[in-house]
A and B are shown apart, each in its own frame.
Chain A
Amino acid sequence: MKKAVSVMVLVAVAALSILCFSGIASAGEEIKMVGVITKIDIAGKDAKTATATLKDNKTEALVVITVNDDLTLDKFKDHRIVEGDEIRCKYETIDGKNVSKLFRKTAGC
């Protein structure tokens, strides 16, 4: 009985550890994509985060990207980046979110 309880405690501790460190565990490698913005969600002028939905040029899949960097957020806020713009993006999946590491318009002049 004692042994069984010990095993259960061990399993519980292991499960808890996995849950606690799931952010790290789920952080994948950097993924690159080019796609067109179909939607931007940003909550006002003081927002510290936003999401942009990109339609992947290769797969046509819709990928929701979380953007946290100030430079890109500012471009959302003043509409230098808008829906319809094509974006070159690098992101990592952390805690189930695709967190942007690079988010740039492909176009220039």
Chain B
Amino acid sequence: MKKTGMIAAVFGLALAATTAMAEHPGKESIAKSGYKGPETCEECHPGSAKGFMDTVHWKHASKVTNVDGVDPKKEYGMKNRIYVMCNGNDIVNNLKEIPKSPVTGKSKFTGCNTCHPGNHLSDVGSTGPEAEAAVDCLVCHSTDYDFRQRKASKNEKGQVVMGQDRSTKAALAIGKPTVKNCMVCHEAAGGGVIVKRGFSFTKDTDAHAAKGMVCVDCHKAKNHKIPTGHDPNNWANDNVFISCSDTSCHGGKPHKDADLNRHSAKVACQTCHIPRTGGAFAKDFTVWEQTPDKFYEPTTLKKEANETTPVYAWYNGTVKNTPHFIGPKGSRMDGKSKISPFKIFQGKAFYNKQTGELLSMDFAQPMSNGDTRAGVLSAAKTLGMKDPEKVAKEAVAGWQTIYFGSNHLVTKSKALFCANCHAPNGVLNFKDLGYSDKEIVRLTSPELFMKKLAEKQKEEW
């Protein structure tokens, strides 16, 4: 056997051994005693359920310090935010049985907090022993979860309860979350698969997935606090963040080429390595379309992953937040910003005629009969607004533009190269990015890369 073959074999064996070691211990005990919910997990992980109460995945909110116009003492997230990708939130669009369709006489359960890992009786942000006992550990940690169990229904008191698979069979398949576990909720956010974030995490669409990595390899949790990036529209966070340049990942000088490494001071990795995006690019919450089941959904325009192009802007991690715009702040001169790619989304919804603020919507009424103003009225009542009938009646339609962070669909082979940016028809609009006409002439000339790429071309051919 050749030396390389030997190395590969040894590496393979080591990998296999690691995988075997990754088997979650304690299964014999679960098999013997059965699974009783979090109390079973707590036998080996004491305090986990209580700790979980203080995470974004349970609270759907956190303090937010980088966004204009928010109170730094309050918590924000899908629990209470109002913006045009969702327009509802956990409070106004709480999981419930919607009014019956006037056409079919049928109802259904729906709500923003459908994905919350509790049982709905203990819901977003709840605390205490009852909440701790209600955590659905297995929906994130089992690879053999039966999703027929995770359905909303009404109990004998008429309360809406979210079911859970607490079978021993599911518990025997526990481990660190797989891509599937995360995607159960994250792939269909915003009204359907790929709609909100515009990416799929498969070997065909993402270089990390192609290497067999899973979500939590980058979003490496500690005590269920999951690090995230700095997406201008993803406000809630566990106060832990990830970056491609973390030393455990790509480091500060990821390329062999010094010129490329020099770029990383002013250009985010994503700019070159995530050249495409996808998902919904426009939605209208003022007009809902009737679907074949005779319920209604917001009118949505969307594309597949990798079918749309991002827009590029300077981003220093802070966010402009107005009723008509949510997006990155930054400039080439502030010393903190990098040119970053964003998925552009525009949504139409109702605004308060008196204050100009964006209004939120309870989806129950419009989903049943298409009456969107009834949804605004219900939300206004839930939020305790003054004269909700007047607010709903006078509400005016308007658009909001949102810049979503573009942090997945990573590619190495299709990454942008010199001429994709440094050309008159390049993807970067240097004028919008704050460069002078004179600078633009220099920045879009092949003079910058001619010699280097000519050499490379010779090597390749």
A interface residues with partner B (beta carbon < 8 Å) = 34, 36, 57, 71, 74, 78-80, 82, 86, 104-109
Query: Which single member of A74, A79, A82, A108 contacts B191 (CB below 8 Å)?
Result: A108
Tell me whether A108 and B188 are in contact in the complex, defined as CB-CB below 8 angstroms, given that A36-B292, A57-B292 are known contacts. yes
- Which chain B positions have C-beta within 8 A of A107? 188, 192
Contact with A along B158-202 (1 / 0, CB 8 A): 000000000000000000000010001100111111011000001
Partner of A80, one of B110, B147, B195, B291: B147
Expressed in whole angstroms, the minimum distance between the Cβ of B389 and any Cβ of chain A is 28
When A36-B292, A106-B291 are in contact, do A78 and B189 touch as well, CB less than 8 Å?
no
Q: Are A105 and B146 in contact (CB under 8 A)?
A: no
Q: Which of B115, B145, B146, B293 contacts A109 (CB 8 A)?
A: B115
CB < 8 Å neighbour of B146 from A36, A78, A104, A106 = A78
Within the assembled complex, what's the spacing in Å between the Cα atoms of A79 and B112? Answer: 21
Compute how far the CA of A80 lies from the CA of B115 in the bound complex, rounded to whole angstroms.
13
Q: Inter-chain contact count A-B, CB under 8 Å?
A: 47
Instruction: Tell me whether B184 and A80 are in contact (CB under 8 A).
Output: yes
Whole-angstrom distance between the alpha carbons of A74 and B180 in the complex? 9
Are B292 and A34 in contact, CB atoms less than 8 angstroms apart? yes
User: Which residues of chain A are near B147, meaning CB under 8 Å?
Assistant: 78-80, 82
A86 touching B189 in the complex, CB below 8 Å, given contacts A78-B144, A78-B145: no
Task: Find out whether the CB atom of B193 lies under 8 angstroms from the CB atom of A108.
Answer: yes
B148 interface residue (CB < 8 Å to A): yes
Question: Is residue B406 contacting chain A, with contact meaning CB distance below 8 A?
Answer: no
Chain B 96-116 near chain A by CB (<8 Å), digits 1 or 0: 000000000000001110110
Bound-state Cα–Cα, A108 to B185, Å: 9
- Collect the chain A residues with CB atoms within 8 Å of residue B292's CB: 34, 36, 57, 86
The minimal Cβ–Cβ distance linking A106 to chain B, given in whole angstroms, is: 6
Q: How far is the CA of A86 from the CA of B294 in the complex (A)?
A: 12
Interface of A is mostly: loop
Q: Which residues of A contact B185 (CB under 8 A)?
A: 109
Assess whether A106 is in contact with B192, with CB atoms less than 8 Å apart. Answer: yes
**Lowest 8 A-B CB distances belong to which pairs?**
A108-B188, A108-B192, A57-B292, A108-B191, A79-B148, A104-B193, A79-B147, A80-B147
CB distance from A93 to the nearest CB of B (A): 21
- What are 20 residue pairs bridging A and B, where the CB atoms are less than 8 Å apart in the complex? A36-B292, A36-B293, A71-B202, A74-B180, A79-B147, A80-B147, A80-B184, A82-B148, A86-B291, A86-B293, A105-B193, A108-B188, A108-B189, A108-B193, A108-B195, A109-B110, A109-B112, A109-B114, A109-B189, A109-B191
Interface magnitude class on chain B: 20 to 34
Complex formed: what's the CA distance from A80 to B192 in Å? 13
Task: Please report B residues at the A interface, Cβ cutoff 8 Å.
Answer: 110-112, 114-115, 144-148, 180, 184-185, 188-193, 195-196, 202, 291-293
Q: Which residue of A lies closest to B88 (CB)?
A: A109
Apart from the given pairs A78-B144, A86-B292, A86-B293, 18 other A-B contacts in the complex at a CB distance below 8 Å = A36-B292, A74-B180, A79-B146, A79-B147, A79-B148, A80-B147, A82-B147, A106-B192, A107-B192, A108-B190, A108-B192, A108-B195, A108-B196, A109-B112, A109-B114, A109-B115, A109-B189, A109-B190
By beta carbon, the residue of chain B nearest A105 is B193
Q: Shortest beta-carbon distance, A108 to chain B, in Å? A: 4
**Closest CB-CB distance, B347 to chain A, in whole Å?**
15
- In the complex, A8→B338 CA distance in Å? 73
Chain B residues whose C-beta falls within 8 Å of the C-beta of A57 in the assembled complex? 292
Task: Report which residue of A57, A80, A106, A109 has the largest number of chain B beta carbons within 10 angstroms of its beta carbon.
Answer: A109
**A48 vs B193: C-alpha distance when bound (angstroms):** 23
Instruction: Give the distance to chain B from A91, nearest Cβ to Cβ, in Å.
Output: 16
Name the one of A74, A79, A105 contacting B188, with C-beta atoms under 8 angstroms.
A105
Report A47 CB to chain B, min CB distance, Å.
15
CB–CB B192/A105 < 8 A: yes
| A82 and B147 alpha carbons, distance in the complex (Å) | 9
A41 to chain B, nearest CB (A): 17
**Chain A nearest CB, measured from B369 CB (Å):** 18
C-alpha gap A71/B179 in the complex (Å)? 11
Q: Which of A74, A104, A105, A108 has the most CB of B within 10 A?
A: A108
Q: Which residue of B lies closest to A57 (CB)?
A: B292
A57 to B87, CA, bound (A): 28
Q: In the complex the two chains form, what is the Cα distance from A34 to B192 in whole Å?
A: 14
Of A74, A105, A106, most buried by chain B (CB within 10 Å of CB) is A106
CB contacts (< 8 Å) of B190 on chain A: these are 108-109
In this complex, what residue of A is CB-closest to B185?
Answer: A109
Bound complex: CA A74 to CA B188 (Å)? 16
In the complex, what residues of A have CB within 8 A of residue B144's CB? 78
